[in-house]
Structure 1
């Protein structure tokens, strides 16, 4: 590991306590509330990678209270004030009307203080408490019914000093159905349940990508890169966990490289211009200096807007995990220009 990486990691760990939590079981008393007090924004998310075509992936992305972070805002949805604005994305490889839309919190949402019920109009119901949850979504063109069982395997992406921003992800298993065009498909596998909360601080992030790969029926790998002004890395890490192992966080010789971008820039509803990656690769070494994982991905041309202020989609990948070849369909979130 280079001196630059050593210094970067030292700075990151002085700002966030997330690295110190690696490999520890999930504490059921961890905060999981909607916006309250100093926390003006909360995010709940479910991500299901490696689905059969044409679905390819499925995510349920909610943001309650508009964040002050430009990359994650949707100014065009604000009808009154930031705190009264919410958004919901049901992302998948199938496009349908209304899969991303905005809501007014006071008018449209029902939010239990402990998040045992999150209701977005007549569209989405997220119910339950750790470790069992149910998710239902109703749209004339797309229905979703999921039962989610959360493990105690958690990855902490951020736990900023002073409580400015927390973000974590639970490894889960799920089963359920999706229905569109009169066809019902049964699904099961590994997914994530994610939560974030933040105060109204305008953090200057300029690029964000988050990716999920299910290596097999029990093992999941997450990749995150966040950049600040001038491309300065804020976070670059790979998280490994399985149903039988709390796993770890890996940063040594991390690399994310984009080989090809879309030919035409996309213009978001908020007026941001970004060219999304179509061909890319990423890798990281384990704690012994051996290659942990190397991935080469090509997107499935199914990016959908609404992952905060950016896009979510899927990609076909080949690569190696601990020296063995792997293939499959990964999940990708992508916001900004790199």
Structure 2
């Protein structure tokens, strides 16, 4: 998407960190608000933890969860708190107007889900009989990315963070301490935008080394962007956004979402980036099969990986968001047809690689 504002421009505009990293409520034209805390590398039995709220249902296929709508699409708020553990109540749905109190830096969803900011600390709480958590998040690094969409229709930021707190699962308590990502976005309630495939994956290799992998496709299966972002305290950040390959080599049997959509979820997949016919980055992943529905129109889960980058080998676990709203004839394409997809096509005017 066209980036009109980045970290350097924030400094030029004299925006300090606390002003930039605000949790805004729905207000005025900005009726869609998204927030996410993601911890991608927790010890067993969790493997990962997310705390994701979406206020309003955008007119975008990958974001629209009809089964969660309680009153109207714009009045629907959802909160997803999930891990690798088996749960049934990880997704909660609310009426934003009747059941939520939404203020700047403070969100409350009935007496179940709470988000509050006392900068530089962010607090997340779920109070539920099956799965509860109380988390404190601290932002100690610079803003990783702060961008605005063209014509002021939305903005977005994310930052690396440190989290500590307590998780209660079926009355058993666990103390956790981990690194992760904190994100916030807001947007105008736009007309229909045909984004039909999205995956977003995070690997916390160690305390100082984090990788974000993401791909977005439109209704014709054209790639809007496919990128690998590498953040490290020891070196400059690295972005690969050309000639990035994401390929699903094996899938699970077809599933049907609560919205009635058929979807294939990845069992094994790879990410690869090459320069001058030499592989620079290659990640091979195997899903744990712990997918849970509730991330907008799709699923979240975790995976094992083997990574080659910079002539070094790594292995561990990662976090995956996966939404595939393409018709099945796109999902079931053979390799030859997938190669044809790499041919450049016109892209929607709001976005670019």
Equivalent in the alignment of 2:175: 186
Map 1:1-338 to 2 at 5 A.
15-17=2-4, 21=7, 27-30=17-20, 32-112=23-103, 114-115=104-105, 117-156=106-145, 159-201=148-190, 202-243=192-233, 247-263=237-253, 265-284=254-273, 292-336=280-324, 337=326, 338=331
- Distance, in Å, in 2 between the alignment partners of 1:188 and 1:292 is 32
> Which residues of structure 2 form unaligned runs of 5+?
332-353
- Distance, in Å, in 2 between the alignment partners of 1:225 and 1:158 is 18
Contact 1:40 1:67 in 2 (8 A): no
In the TM superposition, residue 219 of structure 1 has moved relative to its aligned partner by 1.4
Name the TM-score, length of structure 1 as normaliser.
0.87
- Distance, in Å, in 2 between the alignment partners of 1:133 and 1:243 is 22
The verdict on how the C-alpha distance between 1:185 and 1:234 changes in structure 2, with shifts beyond 3 A counting, is same
In the TM superposition, residue 36 of structure 1 has moved relative to its aligned partner by 1.2
Name the TM-score, length of structure 2 as normaliser.
0.83
- Distance, in Å, in 2 between the alignment partners of 1:86 and 1:110 is 11
- Distance, in Å, in 2 between the alignment partners of 1:62 and 1:305 is 14
Deviation string 1:190-213 (CA, Å, 9 cap, x unpaired) is 111111111122221010000000
- Distance, in Å, in 1 between the alignment partners of 2:280 and 2:108 is 40
Contact 1:223 1:238 in 2 (8 A): yes
Moved more, 48-57 or 218-227: 48-57
- Distance, in Å, in 1 between the alignment partners of 2:110 and 2:45 is 28
Contact 2:7 2:143 in 1 (8 A): no
In the TM superposition, residue 243 of structure 1 has moved relative to its aligned partner by 4.7
The verdict on how the C-alpha distance between 1:196 and 1:107 changes in structure 2, with shifts beyond 3 A counting, is same
- Distance, in Å, in 1 between the alignment partners of 2:125 and 2:269 is 34
The verdict on how the C-alpha distance between 1:39 and 1:251 changes in structure 2, with shifts beyond 3 A counting, is same
> Which residues of structure 1 form unaligned runs of 5+?
1-11
- Distance, in Å, in 1 between the alignment partners of 2:288 and 2:76 is 31
Contact 1:209 1:335 in 2 (8 A): yes
Deviation string 1:231-285 (CA, Å, 9 cap, x unpaired) is 111111112223566624221331101001112x222222222111110000235
